[in-house]
Amino acid sequence: MTAQYLLRRTFNVKPGNTILVHAAAGGVGVLLCQWGRALGATVIGTVGSPEKAELAKANGAHHTILYRNEDFAAKVKEITGGKLCDVVYDGIGKTTFPASLDCIRPLGMFASFGSASGPIEAFNINILQQKGSLFATRPTLNTYAAKREDLLAIAQDLFDIVLSGKLKIAVNQKYPLKDAMKSHIDLESRATTGASILLP
C-alpha cells in the first residue's frame, strides 16, 4: 500500500517519467521498481551490492547504482544525460540527503517515506529553491488511508495490479515472532531484500 500511494498519489507516475528508488532491493523498493516500470517510467535504483543490483534489475529497475562505490547523484546525471529524475523515492533518510536533491530536475519531487539510516534533520528550506524549485514531502500511509474510501481505493489498486501479474510480492525473510528484534536489526542493517514477515 505504501508503494501504491507513493506512485499513484504522492507523485503520480506517468509513462516517460524517470524515477529514482533508493534501497531498490528492499521490501518497498522492489515493489516501486516493478510498479514504476509497469507504469511506463524509467526506473533507476540504488543498491548496496552487486547481488542486490541483480535483484533490483530482476524486479524492473532499468539501471542500478552501487551507492557504496559510486556517487549516486553523479551517476544519475550520467544515466539521464543531465535531465535528472522527476521524483526520488527515499526510504533511507539521513545518508541519502541532501544528495538526493541533486538527482531531481527543476519542479521535481523528493518523497521521503522512511529513515533506515536515521531521520533527515531540519534543513534550510531555501535549498529547495536553490536546487530548482523542488517539492519535498514526508508522506505516511496513515494519512493517505485515513478515510475509509481512500483505504479501499488504495487496496483495490494494489490488488488489481497483483492480480494482473505485473506486481509480484516476494517474501524473502520469515522470522518467528520471538525474533522480532532480529528482524528489525536485519532491516536496519540492510541485510534484507524483498518483504519480511513475522510468524506467530
CATH number assigned to the domain comprising residue 63: 3.40.50.720
| Structural domain harbouring 181 | 171-200
Judge if 134 and 67 occupy the same domain.
Answer: yes
Q: What are phi and psi of 191, to 5 degrees?
A: -90, 0
User: What is the pLDDT at residue 128?
Assistant: 98
Are 13 and 36 contacting, i.e. CB atoms less than 8 angstroms apart?
yes
pLDDT at 194 over 80: no
Same domain (yes/no): 66, 138: yes
The answer to whether 103 and 20 have CB atoms below 8 angstroms apart is: yes
131/182 same-domain check: no
Over residues 43-48, the mean pLDDT reads 97
pLDDT tops 80 at residue 77: yes
**Shared domain check, 112 and 22:** yes
Tell me, yes or no, whether 32 and 92 share the same domain.
yes
Q: Is residue 15 part of a domain?
A: yes
Q: At what angle do helices 50-58 and 27-38 cross, to 10 degrees?
A: 40
| pLDDT over threshold 80, residue 7 | yes
Grid cell listed for 2? 505504501
* pLDDT value at residue 191: 84
Q: Letter for the amino acid at 188?
A: E
* 79 and 175 together in one domain: no
Average pLDDT, rounded, for the chain: 96
Same domain (yes/no): 104, 188? no
State residue 116's pLDDT score: 87
For residue 170, the model assigns a pLDDT of: 85
Q: Is residue 126 part of a domain?
A: yes
* pTM score of the predicted model: 0.91
The per-residue pLDDT for range 103-149, each reduced to its tens digit, is 999 999 999 999 989 999 999 999 999 999 999 999 999 999 999 99
**Residue of 83 and 195 predicted with greater confidence:** 83
Greatest Cα-to-Cα distance within the chain, rounded to the nearest angstrom: 50
What sign does the CA torsion over 99, 102, 106, 111 have? negative
Residue 36 shares a structural domain with residue 126: yes
Rounded CA gap, 75 and 61, in Å? Answer: 15
Residues 38 and 129 in one domain: yes
* Arithmetic mean of pLDDT, 18-23: 98
The count of structural domains within the chain is 2
Measured CA to CA, the distance from residue 177 to residue 164 in angstroms comes to 32
